[in-house]
Amino acid sequence: MNHEQITQLLQDLVRIPSVSPLGDPGTAAKNTGEARIAEYVADFLRKLALDVKLHDVEPGRPNVVGRFSSRGARKSVAFAPHTDTVSVAGMTIDPFGGEIRDGRLYGRGACDTKGSLAAMLAAVANVVRQKEFREGDLDICFCALMGEESGSHGARALLQRGFRADFAVAGEPTNCRVVHTHKGAIAFKVITRGKSVHSSMPERGESAIKKMAGVVEYLLGEYTDSLKRIHNPILGSPTTNVGIIRGGSQTNIVPEYCEIEVDRRTVPGEDHEEILRQLRERLSVEVEMIGVCGPLYTDPQNPFIRALGQETVGAPWFCDAAFFAEYGIPAVAFGPGSVAQAHTADEFVELDEVFRAAQIIEGFLLTCCRTAERA
């Protein structure tokens, strides 16, 4: 595919709304879910003669898995961009317009992560048409995954079905660098309880919010400071953020209940269950796990990473690559665009970077094919 065709492909993808239905999508229900974009990707892959299957992870929210089988079939590479986007609430541009200005394509998901999806589709389209590749020894698994922005349910479901590959590339905005390690995350809830009474006599009650104030002060103060003693040479130190607080029912009632939701970023070597155990012990309050994603580390000397031929870096965020690694599949994140543009009110991706990503992936596949032939 040439630059004009890749641009049109990316415009098509952005113009198909695929907003996560969880939380406030900021748009009509008809624009949520991944069904329409999954069908588009499936049809694209079928035209390349891949064996394509759709698997509903949730009603109307499928994964797409397309397989190209080479003649030799010694090694397999999986491409795993996600098809969902975050909410469009508060956007200052048409989220589904795919407008092009000054070499940038604008719209929700243009950067995170439909730019990666377009680059990967274009690269696969180019290589499977080449006789050298068709007769080689490298299989391709194209996994367009739902639900990454709200729990990575697509990746989890794919791997729980027994999916295997020798290497996986999650599509994410990495400025065409190879993210071989990233932080993990624990999302957890802290609950404090008190005793409600009339607010004119607060001394007869017990304020759950007052208790929680001490918890928040500890988490964002002493606890956060203590994490600086843990230092990863690539990823730095763990971090903590209190993102949500709920409590109380009326201003004239001493609150009997309060809860917060906390995001705790982790680095390789930390034990998630131990982290929560220590917090329960220190705070003497209820602490409940909401969700977890382990940190990622793939050896930068891995032959597939070397075949990509790009700078290797770490990232403070997490993505589906960690779930592939958890199941024993070496994985990285790679794609065009900057995470600084992801989830923004005027999200965009530089088209030149999308073209560059497609070229890098195409070269990667041809290199791996030749390497497999010599093995």
Residue 88 phi/psi, 5-degree rounding, is: -100, 5
One-letter amino acid of 155: A
Assess whether pLDDT exceeds 80 at residue 218: yes
Residue 326 confidence class, pLDDT cut points 50, 70, 90? very high
Mean pLDDT, rounded, of the chain:
95
pLDDT average, residue stretch 281-309: 95
**Residue in this structure with the two tokens 């705790």, named with its chain if needed:** 264
Average pLDDT over residues 193-217: 97
**pLDDT one-digit tens code per residue, 69-106:** 887 778 999 999 999 999 999 999 999 999 999 999 99
- Domain parsing of the chain, residue ranges: 3-182+295-374, 184-293
Query: How does DSSP classify residue 134?
Result: H
- Can you tell me whether residue 125 is helix, strand or coil? helix
CA distances from 343 to 113, 247, 280 (A): 10, 28, 33
**Token pair recorded at residue 291:** 């969700």
Q: What is the pLDDT of residue 74?
A: 84
Q: What band does 13 get if pLDDT is binned at 50, 70 and 90? A: very high
Tokens of 347: 């999200």
| Confidence at 134, pLDDT banded by 50, 70, 90 | confident
Please tell me whether residue 350 adopts helix, strand or coil conformation: strand
User: What percent of the chain has pLDDT above 70?
Assistant: 99
User: For residues 169 and 124, is the Cβ–Cβ distance under 8 A?
Assistant: no
Is 266 in contact with 220 (CB distance < 8 Å)?
no
Contact call for residues 179 and 247 (beta carbons, < 8 A): no
Which of 327, 292, 319 is closest to 180 using CA atoms? Answer: 319
CATH number of 184-293: 3.30.70.360
CB atoms within 10 A of CB 187: 17
Is pLDDT of 374 > 80? Answer: no
**DSSP structure class, residue 176:** T
Q: How long is the chain?
A: 375
In 85-148, beta strands by DSSP E: 100-101, 104-106, 138-144
Q: How confident is the model at residue 371 (pLDDT cuts 50, 70, 90)?
A: low
Higher pLDDT: 372 or 287? It is: 287
Judge whether residue 24 has pLDDT over 50.
yes
Domain 3-182+295-374 annotated CATH 3.40.630.10 = yes
